[in-house]
Structure 1
Amino acid sequence: MKCPFCGHPETQVVETRVGDDGVFIRRRRRCGGCDKRFTTYERPEVSFPAVVKKDGRRIEYDRSKLQGSFNLALRKRPVSTEQVDSAIERIEEKLLNLGQREVLSSRIGELVMRELKKLDKVAYVRFASVYRSFEDIDEFRALVDEVRK
């Protein structure tokens, strides 16, 4: 691997560790030219199913969109980034285990709601109120009553 500092083509692996969740491998490397150290991460390359939107368009799965949905729903809520990352990983695992080439965006939305319900009830209500496009206060009240139980 090329050194990101000097471009030297030879680097030596000094230390290798498996990530906490076992999903990636972290390697500390030392450059043979400038002797600086840097870290690289190895993750398996997987192919997620295409996402089919409500209007029929097909788009590539984008983890950052999922992350953005969680961040918006959990804004100013006491939930750690590690908990959010774990929830996203569980969703991605379910998407991969479906074994399908396409998945409806509504299916992903339901998976997000399920994870948010476990993490934080307020965030769940926030997300659900937007996701389900409530037309009146009775629908919203029913959701809140469901969460209270």
Structure 2
Amino acid sequence: MLFFSFWMSSIGSTGLTYSIFAVSYLLAMNATAFEEKNNSDIILLSLPIRKQKIVLAKYISVYVYIAIATLANFSIYILTNLLSIPFQVLPFTFEGIILASVGVTLLCSITFPLVFKLGYNQSKMFNNVLFFLTVFVAALMTDKLILSIHFPFQRQYSI
């Protein structure tokens, strides 16, 4: 998180988008890996819980990871401003949060069905390629996308 905050601060709110996107997606994939490693699916399926609720909880957890990544970025932003640290950090904008949330939601909506069907280990290579392809395509389109979208609440908050 600190890596993104200091290293990507020169690209503005796009850095915030990449930070939230990468951290929340990697948290979701790591949770999936740990679930498979510990055979959680066997335990969950033995409980009197419908599979629909298990899948729904997996998708809702993505938004929890987005909130964690957003809160961590906001905490770094607040601390650097309060402590007057001479480093430039990521600007905190709603635009960055919304774009990252949409990106993670779309990417997880593609990767989770593969993980449910094949398992984490067998779908890991495809998921990694898809993640890096998404980041690469987003980097190519960033300037055009940011310039063409104007949110009514688009402003940078400072303390």
TM-score normalised by L of structure 2:
0.27
Of the two structures, which has the highest relative contact order with CA contacts closer than 8 Å and spacing of 6 or more? 2
Q: Which has the higher helix share?
A: 2
TM-score normalised by L of structure 1:
0.29
- Based on CA coordinates, which of the two structures has the bigger radius of gyration? 1
